[in-house]
Amino acid sequence: MLVLEELSYRHSRQSRDYVFTMAAGPGQITAVSGPSGSGKSTLLDLIAGFLLPQSGVIRLDDADLVPLPPEARPVSILFQSDMLFEHLSAGKNVALGLPADTPRAEVQPKVAAALAEVGLPDIGSQRASTLSGGQKQRVALARTLLRARPVLLLDEPFSALDDDTRAIVRELVQALTRRHRWTTILVSHHGDDVEALAARHYRIEGERLKEDVDWGRGGST
């Protein structure tokens, strides 16, 4: 369980602190919504370690995440942009998710398995610049698989996709979350993404998180 308790942060331009308290469980997607500028990206940056809170708790099970730098946190992020290296092949982009000390003989089988799991078994040698938007997001998900980190942060990851592709990638994210018991936090202003995926739902109102206690869609496995 990922728990935030009275996590406080203030940007220099703000007159009041953000204060975030929430819980997100493994195997399910917890959604956070709110208008532009309400603090959704700030929340993700605090969990990822890109911002340091003034006070409060970020805890994954029994581990305190606040002292850890971003690279040491058990967190992966999938952005609206797929963040691939366009000049590299799909397979080489996926391989970047592996630890640097992975034996060379294990790299290709692991990459192939990850691409197969996201439904792209035959594109490992294809240059990333030639892929469709949906394929790029699935390659980014395959890289996330190899990172093998229990917390996945989704920052408007479907916004750049057409409706049909969004539905396919959403279903894949939900399936991977359940299969790998990820604690997934989705930030989105698209109500249909939240409706389709979220087991729990929070809104940012007045610099604070408010849980929709009547939310009943989705769920963990």
- For residue 135, the model assigns a pLDDT of 92
Selection from 190, 187, 206, 158 nearest residue 45 by Cα? 187
CA atoms within 13 A on the CB side of 190: 18
Could you read off the pLDDT of 154-166 as tens digits, one per residue?
A: 998 888 788 888 8
Structure tokens at 41: 């990206």
- For residue 191, the model assigns a pLDDT of 86
- For residue 214, the model assigns a pLDDT of 81
**Which of 27-41, 93-107, 152-166, 195-209 has the lowest average pLDDT?**
152-166
Strands 63-64 and 151-155: unpaired
What mean pLDDT, rounded, does the chain reach? 91
CA atoms within 13 A on the CB side of 121: 3
**pTM for the model:** 0.90
Q: For residues 143 and 181, what is the distance between their CA atoms, to the nearest angstrom?
A: 17
Is the CB of residue 187 less than 8 Å from the CB of residue 20?
A: no
| pLDDT at position 219 over 60 | no
Could you read off the pLDDT of 38-83 as tens digits, one per residue?
A: 899 999 999 999 999 999 999 999 899 999 999 999 999 987 766 8
- For residue 220, the model assigns a pLDDT of 41
**Residues whose CB is less than 8 angstroms from the CB of residue 212 and which lie 6 or more positions away in sequence, other chains included:** 200, 201, 202, 203
- For residue 160, the model assigns a pLDDT of 78
- For residue 216, the model assigns a pLDDT of 65
| pLDDT at position 217 over 50 | no
Residues above pLDDT 70, as percent of the chain: 96
Could you read off the pLDDT of 179-188 as tens digits, one per residue?
A: 999 999 999 8
User: Which CATH fold would you assign to the domain 1-73+154-160+182-221?
Assistant: Rossmann fold (3.40.50)
Domain ranges of the chain: 1-73+154-160+182-221, 75-148
- For residue 82, the model assigns a pLDDT of 64
- For residue 118, the model assigns a pLDDT of 94
- For residue 145, the model assigns a pLDDT of 94
